[in-house]
Structure 1
Amino acid sequence: MTQISGVQSWSLGVTLQLILAAALHQGFAAVAPPTTAPTTAPPHKDPGRPERGNYVVASANGTACLLASMGLQLNITFSSLSQNKTVQDVVNLQPNMTKSSGSCDSDSASLRLTTDAEKTNLTLSFTLNTTSNKYHLSEVFLSAAWPDMKDAVSARNNSLDYLRGTLGYSYMCREQQTLNVTQNLSINTFQVQVQPFGLTGNQFGAAEECQLDEDDMLIPIIVGAALAGLVLIVLLAYLIGRRRSHAGYQTI
């Protein structure tokens, strides 16, 4: 009986280690920040989860050349007039108040989002590698002139490598991601599906899911497999112990 308890304790320990490893793996899968943000006051409001907007960029002949469906949240650090210090504000882009435009070429495409109310202009530029047939978000440009800003904010980074996909396929990520652009700007994305190249008609191609979504699906599988292994080990320990118990009775 002592031997069976030892096997059960060992199997439980192995199961807990597997579950812990799965949780740690999901934590390390988050997008790593390329820059360190300056010390600022914390955000003074929580806008909640942004609404998902649907955006289309059309080519010269009127057909869609870029499709995007996503919720966007801007994290901007600026000098505040009302607080007389540097603050970080979090603002959701509201699709019903956002105008979309853009352009498409054979190996580049851009989506421009403009809001009149808060004087915000956000441009997302994608680049296609015609050799590998892979595309990615390569540049982000933001200009904002909010009422509380002491000076208008302008941020640009043209060496990014986010939202990677394959020509003819759409990039999809249901999980929240943080795209670090500069020290003063990062963008939270929610339920993203985007395709800047290789569209057929006005519909997304088959989706390639991001690593975060794959990890989110992997953890229940790992936990389920670990629990199934635990049940199997306990069952085998029980059968072995029972067999030895019968053998002992026959000896007597």
Structure 2
Amino acid sequence: MQTTGVHSWCVGLTLPLILAAVLHQGLADVTPPPAPVTTAAPHTDPARPDRGTYRLTSSNGTTCLLAYMGLQLNFSISSLPQNKTLQQVLNVNPNTTKALGSCEAESAHLRLTTDGDKTNLTFVFTLNTTSDKYHLSEVTVKAVLPEMKDPFSAQNSSLNYLRGTLGRSYMCREEQTLSVSANFSINTFQVQVQPFGLKGEQFGAAEECQLDEDDMLIPIIVGAALAGLVLIVLLAYLIGRKRSHAGYQTI
């Protein structure tokens, strides 16, 4: 009777432990589904760019667009001398970048000129006055690159990135890749931007991106699952111990 009780306790304890290990490994392997528009950006060279503050003012002198972000430009260019496609990465240096542009009732244009006026990057934000929602709708880039005889250019006016609500700022701490064309994309780093509804010189309340929300959700799910598994193991141990003691009873 004693041997049977101990064996039952061991089986009762071992099975939950195996289940806990399997479920934990399964949860660790699960990655959040990719956001419908943006994806986590890969780490590329050169190193992580510095964040810069870019500001536009309206005709009355008040701030109408505010952006704080690090930018990294990814070019895919065809090199005729080498007869192959080359990848070139350029960090936007906020210390040598000029911000110009304009703000309208339903659109805002932010033009960044950097790298000794060799690179011009324009962001166009659009506001839907019916829903009070805004988004990055267009990006245009023109750049003089060492490997190209002619200037590089790309444009896309049907984008849907950096979505926010009028009077609030869009924030994303995670790296993102904003794909503009087949041969050009932008990596954003810890971006916060508000192109409409600014009050004063500060951002409005932040609306966090899906990538940030997923990044916070995974540890919570894993922690809750592990807590539940610990409880199952503890209950299995107590039940097995009770059965082991029952084996000592006299008949």
The question of a shared fold, defined as TM-score above 0.5 by the shorter chain, is answered with yes
- Name the counterpart of 1:12: 21
Instruction: Kindly state the Cα deviation for residue 98 of structure 1 after the two structures are TM-superposed.
Output: 0.5
TM-score (norm 2): 0.88
- Name the counterpart of 2:46: 47
Map Cα deviations across residues 57-76 of structure 1 (whole Å, 9 max, x no partner): 10000100000000111111
Query: Which shifted more, 10-19 or 54-63?
Result: 10-19
- Name the counterpart of 2:200: 201
TM-score (norm 1): 0.88
- Name the counterpart of 2:108: 109
- Name the counterpart of 2:12: 3
Distance 1:191 1:116 in 2: 22
1:25 aligns with 2:24: no
SS in 1 for 2:20: helix
Runs of at least 5 residues in structure 2 that lack an aligned partner in the other structure: 1-9
Residues 131 and 251 from structure 1, CA distance in 2 versus in 1: closer, same or farther, beyond 3 angstroms?
Answer: farther
SS in 1 for 2:211: helix
Distance 2:209 2:227 in 1: 28
Is the CA contact (8 Å cut-off) linking 1:107 and 1:127 kept in structure 2?
A: yes
1:171 aligns with 2:178: no
- Name the counterpart of 2:6: none
For 2:152, give the aligned amino acid: V
Distance 1:16 1:46 in 2: 32
Is the CA contact (8 Å cut-off) linking 2:71 and 2:187 kept in structure 1?
A: yes
Distance 2:245 2:84 in 1: 80
- Name the counterpart of 1:233: 232
Runs of at least 5 residues in structure 1 that lack an aligned partner in the other structure: 34-44
Give % identity.
67
4+ long deviations beyond 3 Å: 28-33, 79-86
1:70 aligns with 2:82: no
**Over aligned residues, Cα RMSD in angstroms?**
2.0
Q: Report 1 or 2 for greater relative contact order, CA contacts < 8 Å, sequence distance ≥ 6.
A: 2
Residues 88 and 30 from structure 1, CA distance in 2 versus in 1: closer, same or farther, beyond 3 angstroms?
Answer: farther
SS in 2 for 1:100: strand
Query: What is the number of residues matched between the two proteins?
Result: 238
Is the CA contact (8 Å cut-off) linking 1:172 and 1:193 kept in structure 2?
A: yes
Is the radius of gyration larger for structure 1 or structure 2?
Answer: 2
For 1:132, give the aligned amino acid: S
Alignment of 1:85-96 (within 5 A): 85-96=84-95
Map Cα deviations across residues 7-53 of structure 1 (whole Å, 9 max, x no partner): 322233223223322xx226x348568xxxxxxxxxxx921111101
- Name the counterpart of 1:143: 142
Query: Which shifted more, 122-131 or 239-248?
Result: 239-248
For 2:188, give the aligned amino acid: T
Query: Which shifted more, 130-139 or 72-81?
Result: 72-81
